[in-house]
Structure formats: C-alpha cells, structure tokens
C-alpha cells in the first residue's frame, strides 16, 4: 500500500515537473515570437517615419509655392500671366506630398501587427494550461 502511494506520488510529481517544463518552454517560445513581431513593427515604424518626413517636406514646399503664387497674383491685381504655372506646380507638389503621406499611413496600418499574433497565441496557451490542470484535478479526484 505504501509502495503504491509512493509510486502514485512520484508519477504525479514527474507529471507536474513535466507540465512546468512545458509551460516554461511555451513562455520562452512566446517571448521569442513577441520579439520577432516587435522587430517587424519597428521596421514598419521606421519606414513610415522616413516616408512621412519626406512627404511632409514635399507638402510644405508645395504649400510655400502656393502661398507665394497667390501673393503674386494678388499683387498683380489677379492678372492671368505666368503665375498660374507656379500655382499649378505648387498644387501638384502639395497633392503629391499629401497623397504619399496618406498611402504610407495606410501601408503602416496594414503592416503594424501590434502583437496580435502573440496575444492570440497566449490566449490559446492559457486555454491549454487550464485544460491540463482541469484534467489533472479530475484525475486526482477520480
């Protein structure tokens, strides 16, 4: 009887150790997944920042050209001379800058995961751990 109890205790202890080893390995793998997701997100942030800065400079340049052109138009009494060329160029550069910035923002939103995969995997892991401990509790009770 005592041998059966010791054997049962050893089996339970080894199962418990095995479970904790599995949990530790699982957490290590999840940490590595989170690190990889963060690296990918940081690369997306860097790409977005570069494009946003360039497009913002372009938009500011276009805005300054538009302002200069409008001032010249008002100065010349709204005459339709070569100033409309400056207005057209300024508007084109401004629209290009705003369009590139908007496209970069949309691309960034698509690429930025925000650790969605890691959070999903952690939820699955917690469900697995709950099942495992519930099964162990039922086995002990039965």
User: Could you read off the pLDDT of 110-129 as tens digits, one per residue?
Assistant: 877 666 777 787 788 778 87
Is the pLDDT score of 13 beyond 80?
A: no
- Residue 44, phi then psi, degrees to nearest 5: -65, -40
Q: Which domain holds residue 98?
A: 2-141
Residue 8 binned pLDDT confidence (cut-offs 50, 70, 90):
low
Q: Comparing 8 with 26, which gets the higher pLDDT? A: 26
User: Could you read off the pLDDT of 51-84 as tens digits, one per residue?
Assistant: 889 888 888 888 888 878 777 776 677 665 666 6
The whole-model pTM stands at 0.49
Number of domains in the chain: 1
CB–CB of 108/45 below 8 Å?
Answer: yes
Furthest-apart CA atoms within the chain: distance in Å: 110
- Residue 131, phi then psi, degrees to nearest 5: -60, -45
């Amino acid at each position: 009887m005592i041998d059966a109890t010791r054997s049962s205790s050893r089996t339970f202890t080894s199962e418990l150790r095995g479970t904790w080893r599995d949990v530790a390995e699982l957490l290590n793998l999840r940490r590595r997944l989170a690190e990889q997701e963060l690296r990918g997100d940081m690369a997306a942030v860097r790409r977005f920042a570069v494009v946003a800065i360039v497009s913002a400079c372009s938009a500011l340049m276009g805005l300054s050209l538009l302002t200069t052109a409008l001032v010249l138009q008002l100065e010349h009494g709204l005459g339709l001379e070569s100033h409309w060329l400056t207005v057209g160029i300024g508007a084109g550069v401004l629209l290009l800058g705003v369009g590139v910035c908007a496209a970069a923002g949309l691309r960034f939103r698509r690429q930025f995961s925000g650790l969605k995969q890691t959070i999903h995997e952690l939820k699955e892991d917690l469900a697995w751990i709950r099942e495992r401990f519930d099964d162990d509790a039922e086995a002990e009770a039965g």
